[in-house]
Structure 1
Amino acid sequence: MDTRDFLHPTALTLTRQRSLVGMDGRDLRRGRDKGEQVRILRGVYVPTDVWKAADDDDQYLIRIQAAVLTRRSQPVLSHQSAARVWGLPILSRWPAEVHFLLSAGSKRKSRAGVVWHYDHFRDDEVVELGGYLVTSRLRTMVDLARTIPFASAVASLDAGLRAPYLLPDGERSETIAKEELQEAVARLGSARGCRAARVSADFADGQSGSTGESVSRANIHLSGMPAPLLQVAYPILGGGEDRVDFTWEARHHIRRLPLLGEFDGKVKYTRDQYLAGRTIEEVVWIEKVREDRLRAPNRGMARWLWAVAVSPARLRTLLIAAGLRPER
C-alpha cells in the first residue's frame, strides 16, 4: 500500500461529517457489529477489508490520520508518530497511541488513543510534511533518543543520519550531521532522558545500512563484544567490490583472522525491488557466490537473522563461536 495514499485517505469515515448532512453513525456501528467496519477512534471508522490489507506501518498511518481528523485544530505530531511520518524506523510494532506535542504549561488529558507531551519547543522545530504538522526530523530524533530503549533509539538515529535521507515518498530531505544531533542533545541540559539521549547520540552512525544492522550493532555493544568496522569494501578480482555490514580486525579473533559479519533480514529474497526481475533461487545463488568469495582469503564469516539480532546474549554466543574475543 502506497504511503502517499494515506496522506489524504478517502477510506476513513467520521460520524461528525455524517451529521452535517443529516445522517448519524448507527449504520457504521451496525457495520462494526457485522465485521464490515473497524472503529479506529471514537467516531472514526474504516472498512475492514482496507484495515486488514494494511501492514503495521500503514495501519499506524491510518491511526495518525484518524487522530488528526478528530482534533478541532491541527495538532503537532511528535515522538513515534512524527517518526512514522518522517519514515524513521523503530524496533517493534508501532504503538497503539498517537503522540502529539503541546507547549509546556498546557493541559490536555491523554485519552482515546492519544498521548499528549508537554515540552518547550522552538518555531523551527515544527514543520509541515505531507499535510501534517510534525516535529522536525532532528527534534523527532532527540525525542526518540530520550524515551525509547537503546537499540530502538540507535535504529532511529542511524536512519535519521543516513545520507542521502529519503522521505517515504522518495523525495530527498536535508542531511543531518552527527555533530548537529549531539549539539541538540546537549541543549537538553538536565532534562528527563538526557543521559540516555547522549549515549544513543554518541553511538549513532549514519553508515549503518539498515534497521537490522543498527539493531545488531547496538546489541553487539550491549553483549560486550568489540565494536566492528562498518560497510568495509573488499575488491573483486576483475572489478567491482563486495561491501560487508561488519568487519572485525584480526586482533579481535582468536586465530588472528579478520571476521566478517552480515545481518540477513531476508528482505532481498522477498521484495520485488530487491529481486530486480530475478527469481529467489537466482538471488540466493548470487549471495552464496558472494559469500564464498569473501570467505576465500583466510577470513571468517558470521551471519545472523532477526531472532539473533535482537538478542545480545544470542549475538554474543554466535560471535564467540565464530572466534571473536569478548572485550568484557
Structure 2
Amino acid sequence: MNLSADIARGGVIYSTDHARVGSDIRELTRAVERGELVKLRRGAYIPAALWEAADERTRHLWRAEAASHDARQELPFAGATAATIWGMWLHSHPEEVTFLDRWKGGGRSEPGVRRITAAAAGAGLRRIEGRLVTDVARTAIDVARAADFARAVGTLDWALWRRNPHRVSRERLAEELRKLPGTMRRRFVERAIVFASPLSDSYAESYTRALMFELGYELPELQVEFPHSTGVYAVDFCWRARRVIAEFDGFGKYLDPALNKGDPARTVLAEKLREDHLRGQGYAVIRLYWSDLMNPAALIAKLDAAGIPRGRR
C-alpha cells in the first residue's frame, strides 16, 4: 500500500491493512515521528493535517472508529461516545471510548476503552449512520450518572429539548434510570431529571442555569419573548419581577462564517439593536461568557450586581 496516497485520501489508517499486503508497517511509526501521522491507538493512525484541523467531536469519532475496528465483535457505543454520535450536548469529548458490553468484567479493559455492563442486556439500541449506539434515554442517563450536576443537566436538557427530533420525555428518562441496578447516584440523577428543561437552546444555557441553581439564586424564566417591529426576541434568562435579562454570549456567532453568514459586522449590529430594544423595555441586560462559568466568582459578581436574590446556599 502507498502511505502517501493513504495520507492524501484521509480517514483512519490501519497497520493491519498495510501488513496484509506486505507493506512495512514500521513506515507508519516513522510517519508519526516525522509529524505526518497522529497515532489514535495501537495500529490506528490519522493524517496529522486532518487531526490539527478537527474539532473535539470529530477526533472522538475517529477514536471510536479505531476502537471498534479492534473489537472482537460489534459492540454498541455507549456513554459519552454514544452521546457524541447522537450529537448530544457535552461539556467535552473524552479521549476514552465507551462501549456497552454484556461481559461482566466491566471497567477499563484496555487502554483508551471503557465498557459499561450495567443492564446491558435490556438496553435499547439504534443505528446512527451505520454505528450501533444506545438509544437516547439510555445514553443520556449513562452520561448523567458519570457527571456532576451542571454537566448532567446539560445532556439531559438535550434529551428533552423541544427542537430535538430525537427528544424523549422526562418520564422516559426516569423509566430508563429505574432499569439500572442498585442505587448508585440514583437520587442525584433523579434530581437532575426533575431540574432538566426542554427550553434551553444550548449546552451553555443549560450549564449556566444549573450553576445558578447550585449557587442558590432565584431561577429565571427561559426563552421569554419580547415582540419588536419585525418579530420577537427570545431571551436566554429573564427575571420579570426584577426587570433583569441575562444572555449567554458565545463568540461563535461573531467568528464562525457559518453562523454570521460571512458578515460579522452585521451580527454585531444586530446584537446591539437587540440589546437596545430590551433595555428600552426597562430591563437591565447581563452578558455572560464561558469565563464566568469557569470562574463562579465572576458569575456571582454579575448576578449580585444585578440584584438577583440568592436565598439558598
TM-score (normalizing by structure 1): 0.87
Note if 1:307 corresponds to 2:298: no
- Using CA pairs under 8 Å that are at least 6 residues apart, name the structure with larger relative contact order, 1 or 2: 1
Structure 1 residue 72 displacement after superposition: 2.5
> 240, 245, 249: which is aligned to 2:240?
249
Residue identity in the other structure for 1:133: L
Note if 1:266 corresponds to 2:251: yes
Q: 8 Å contact 1:222–1:312 — kept in the other structure?
A: no
- 2:57 corresponds to: 57
Equivalent position SS for 1:116: strand
- 1:325 corresponds to: 309
Could you say if the C-alpha distance between residues 195 and 104 of structure 1 is closer, same or farther in structure 2, counting changes exceeding 3 Å? farther
List per-residue Cα deviations over 1:70-121 (Å, max 9, x = no partner): 1131121111111100001211x31111111112635685222111222113
> 231, 235, 246: which is aligned to 2:223?
231
Equivalent position SS for 2:117: strand
- 1:131 corresponds to: 130
* TM-align CA RMSD: 1.9
List per-residue Cα deviations over 1:274-303 (Å, max 9, x = no partner): 2134x2122111111110110112222111
List per-residue Cα deviations over 1:118-165 (Å, max 9, x = no partner): 211345512221121111111000111111111111111111211332
- 2:4 corresponds to: none
Map 1:163-178 onto structure 2 (within 5 A).
163-165=162-164, 173-178=165-170
The separation in 2 between residues aligned to 1:46 and 1:291, in whole angstroms, is: 45
- 1:160 corresponds to: 159
Could you say if the C-alpha distance between residues 189 and 31 of structure 1 is closer, same or farther in structure 2, counting changes exceeding 3 Å? closer
Question: Unpaired segments of 5 or more residues in structure 2?
Answer: 1-8
Could you say if the C-alpha distance between residues 20 and 68 of structure 1 is closer, same or farther in structure 2, counting changes exceeding 3 Å? same
Equivalent position SS for 2:101: strand
The separation in 2 between residues aligned to 1:306 and 1:270, in whole angstroms, is: 15
Could you say if the C-alpha distance between residues 203 and 19 of structure 1 is closer, same or farther in structure 2, counting changes exceeding 3 Å? same
Could you say if the C-alpha distance between residues 187 and 11 of structure 1 is closer, same or farther in structure 2, counting changes exceeding 3 Å? closer
Q: 8 Å contact 2:247–2:286 — kept in the other structure?
A: yes
Note if 1:114 corresponds to 2:113: yes
The separation in 1 between residues aligned to 2:181 and 2:29, in whole angstroms, is: 49
- 1:72 corresponds to: 72
Question: Unpaired segments of 5 or more residues in structure 1?
Answer: 1-8, 166-172
Residue identity in the other structure for 2:138: R
Equivalent position SS for 2:233: strand
List per-residue Cα deviations over 1:13-37 (Å, max 9, x = no partner): 1111222212241110111122211
Q: 8 Å contact 2:10–2:46 — kept in the other structure?
A: no
Identity across the alignment (%): 33
Could you say if the C-alpha distance between residues 315 and 18 of structure 1 is closer, same or farther in structure 2, counting changes exceeding 3 Å? same
Count the aligned residue pairs.
304
Equivalent position SS for 2:59: helix
Note if 1:193 corresponds to 2:185: yes
Which region of structure 1 is more displaced relative to structure 2, 224-233 or 261-270? 261-270
Map 1:39-54 onto structure 2 (within 5 A).
39-54=39-54
Could you say if the C-alpha distance between residues 287 and 109 of structure 1 is closer, same or farther in structure 2, counting changes exceeding 3 Å? closer
The separation in 2 between residues aligned to 1:124 and 1:200, in whole angstroms, is: 21
Q: 8 Å contact 1:67–1:98 — kept in the other structure?
A: yes
